[in-house]
Chain A
Amino acid sequence: GENVEQHPSTLSVQEGDSAVIKCTYSDSASNYFPWYKQELGKRPQLIIDIRSNVGEKKDQRIAVTLNKTAKHFSLHITETQPEDSAVYFCAARGTGTASKLTFGTGTRLQVTL
Chain B
Amino acid sequence: EPEVTQTPSHQVTQMGQEVILRCVPISNHLYFYWYRQILGQKVEFLVSFYNNEISEKSEIFDDQFSVERPDGSNFTLKIRSTKLEDSAMYFCASSAFTEAFFGQGTRLTVV
Interface size class of B (residues with CB under 8 A): 20 to 34
Which residues of A sit under 8 angstroms from B18, Cβ to Cβ? none
* Interface of chain B: mostly helix, strand, loop or mixed: strand
Chain A residue with minimal CB distance to B89?
A41
Which residues of B sit under 8 angstroms from A89, Cβ to Cβ? 42-43
In this assembly, does A113 line the interface, its C-beta being within 8 Å of a C-beta of chain B? Answer: no
Among B43, B55, B95, the residue within 8 A (CB) of A44 is: B43
Cβ-Cβ contact count across A and B, 8 Å cutoff: 55
In this assembly, does B104 line the interface, its C-beta being within 8 Å of a C-beta of chain A? Answer: yes
Of the stretches A11-19, A63-71, A102-110, the one at the interface is A102-110
In this assembly, does A99 line the interface, its C-beta being within 8 Å of a C-beta of chain B? Answer: yes
Which residues of A sit under 8 angstroms from B58, Cβ to Cβ? 100
Distance of B21 from chain A, by nearest CB (Å): 14
Evaluate contact between A102 and B45: CB separation under 8 angstroms.
Answer: yes
Residue numbers of B with Cβ under 8 A of A are 31, 33, 35, 41-45, 48, 50, 55-56, 58, 91, 95, 97-105
Evaluate contact between A97 and B104: CB separation under 8 angstroms.
Answer: no
A39-74 Cβ-contact flags toward B at 8 Å (1 or 0) = 000111110010100000000000000000000000
Which residues of B sit under 8 angstroms from A102, Cβ to Cβ? 45
Q: A68 to B100, alpha carbons, bound, how many Å? A: 22
Distance of A58 from chain B, by nearest CB (Å): 18
Evaluate contact between A43 and B56: CB separation under 8 angstroms.
Answer: no
Which residues of B sit under 8 angstroms from A32, Cβ to Cβ? 98
Given A99-B56, A100-B33, A101-B45, 15 additional A-B pairs, CB 8 A: A32-B98, A42-B105, A43-B102, A43-B105, A46-B101, A49-B98, A97-B31, A97-B97, A97-B98, A98-B31, A98-B55, A100-B48, A101-B43, A103-B44, A105-B42
